[in-house]
Structure 1
Amino acid sequence: VSSGNDFETEVQDIELRVQRPSYNADIKSISTSQTVEAGSNMPIDIVLKNMGYNELEDLYVTVQVAELGLTKTAYFGDLAFIESCEDDCDKEDTVSGRLYLSVPYSADAGLYDLEVKVTNDDTSSTMTKQFNIANDFAENTVVPSNSKTFSVGETASYDLIIVNPTNALKAYTIVSDSNKYISTSVSDSVFVVPAGSSKTVTITANAVEEGDYSFDVSVLSGNTLEDTITFNAEVEGQAGSSPIVVLTIVLAVIFLVLLVVLIVLLGRKPQTEDFGESYY
């Protein structure tokens, strides 16, 4: 090559050969649904290829969603390295497999990281992919109202709706707190809810003196605490007379008045008429 300074520069072609690493388990692809429904099984398809120049023995693949505590491990076997291959011999250094993760019904809706890790005694590879969880029933307890105002001597009722979004029958236990100021009870403390159904439980409370109180209600499924709900009670002074009590008193007064009048009438002596004597 000539330049303006009357000298020549020679450019030579240099062949470079990049050697593969000794051991390299390459994760070629991770295939799964972009959106997964809570409570369903999530299939994960994985393709691995041996990109090293040594055979990969005893490969294990682990998939996990750390935020949900989900993990699953499977054995993928050995992958050979083919220096030069023809036709379909690449199948010998490539393997595919499917694993499943069970997404819990209680998983919150949102984005999660799916981590895929391939390991053996010689190498380790990791790849991460995001997916979305859809959940219309992240909470299996619904409380229409957790606050009530009532008077001393009255009984307040709170509704608690238990939802079973799973595909299996579930047994529940409801435990309510009481103390020296407020007493509580549950209409159904132990019951079962069929799959895909719900049940309404009534919690009643009454207090011995006015004030602001709170009490907890725990929902258990087996030995697992599903939820704890705090209820509030604003208790006022003594309750006024109810209409039934007032009516009873009025009727009693009327009855007494009528009884007195009857006694007076019966106690009066009949008057005799004096006609005198008649002479003819």
Structure 2
Amino acid sequence: MNFTKMHGLGNDFIVVEGESKLPANAAELAEQLCNRFFGIGADGLVYILPSEKADFRMRIMNSDGSEAEQCGNAIRCVSKYVYDNGLTDKENITIETLGAGVQQVQLKVVDGKVESVRVDMGQPILNGLQVPTTVDANPVINHSIEVDGREFHFTAVSMGNPHCVIYVDDAVNFDLNTWGPKLEVHPLFPRKINVEFVTVRSRDFTDMRVWERGAGPTLACGTGACATVVSSVLNGFTDRTATVSLKGGDLLIEWNEADNHVYMTGPASEVYRGTL
């Protein structure tokens, strides 16, 4: 199996192209290959597959073997891969995802290589039961949640995958490893949850750290950045266009008022190639 190691702001993936469908042992492979001590090491295993609805199809296996419905950093990596490797010569492409349907992608090409990617991430889902949470409200804003005697307040957003956004005084130094895994599996979230801890710095800038469902702490989360801006607008903290600063770098997010779609712009990088 040939693979390419790629990352979007440090959120790293093993990218595989050439399969006709998702292998039956994809979950087992993800656990083995994503192991950072006994495998290649990555947050996820990503397959680029044929699609009947779009130019390409993307399937993402988390490092724990579970499947992710969508991933903003992975879709940028896939977009760069297909163009840089000559699978398409179009600078506007479509990619089919499991949880968010077909997404429109614009490529910024410099000297024949993709430098940055702008993705139409679609409309956010704000109905609590559809995110899903067990909270029957639309939207779910500043809702109380208690873990081990500590109370937090979250806003729920789905970008094709579920997120809860929690505002804290210092996201950069927040104790992610203590509270992230406990919130991920809280009974309020029937399919588990991605957790974003956020500090708003200005109307157009936030710090964010993420605990990803099925992967744990990662350097960046594209859908989480989108959920952060949507949540921050709903709470009156930011404007509709804002930079989200993650541990691995910054993403520009716009929640467009005209079409209600969220647009994410950021880089993707190839690290190396190998054969198993």
TM-score above 0.5, yes or no: no
**TM-score of the pair, normalised by structure 1:** 0.21
Q: Which structure has greater strand proportion?
A: 1
**TM-score of the pair, normalised by structure 2:** 0.22
